[in-house]
Amino acid sequence: MSGVREERRKQIIEAAMDVFGSKGYHRAKMGEIAEAAEIGKSTVYEYFDSKKDLFEEMLRFIAMDYQNDVKEALHTGNGCREKLLAFARNHGSFIKSHMELAENTMSESNSVSEEIKKEMMAWKMEVFRMIEDILKSGVESGELREDLDTRTSTAIILGAINENYAIQCIVDKKKPEKIDPEPVIDIIFKGIGI
């Protein structure tokens, strides 16, 4: 795809993120997305066959963006703890950027095909593997104990980070950028025993 065409495609997807985010999938109209992208409705259809196609491409775009951000975050800092902290902060930033979209489209999972659901699981597993690789390198470097079950630990870390943001954003009504993920990472590293 040419550079101009790719930029236009990205412009449409970013407009779709705004419109789907504020209206949800079912109430969003392609004309509104075109207006938000400052293009004609027919131009949107030159790039996407349908609203469902655009919605699924938007999910792919968001997932790839998230994965790239995770890779970048995991290459910062020294040691396992700092990398996990960078990941948690990145996750908070992602939530901040996409919270309204998630809230308004979460209940509309029937709006995506089985194919995209499988892709979403594959994206989730890719992030899981990246975190598990950080733990494995922590074991190899001696930063983490050698008998650590990295698979279970990865699930615990991802769950703790997600729940920390979910509870503080939804229940406590905090903005994601005001949430400090360090206490979660500290508890994971220190354990909860005496």
Q: Same domain for 7 and 25?
A: yes
Q: What is the mean pLDDT of residues 102-120?
A: 74
Q: In whole angstroms, what is the distance from residue 103 CA to residue 14 CA?
A: 17
Confidence label for 189 from pLDDT (cuts 50, 70 and 90): confident
CATH for 175: 1.10.357.10
- Whole-model pTM above 0.85? no
CATH number at residue 10: 1.10.10.60
For 73, the domain range is: 51-190
Could you report the per-residue pLDDT of 44-89, keeping only the tens digit for each? 999 999 999 999 999 999 989 999 999 998 988 789 999 999 999 9
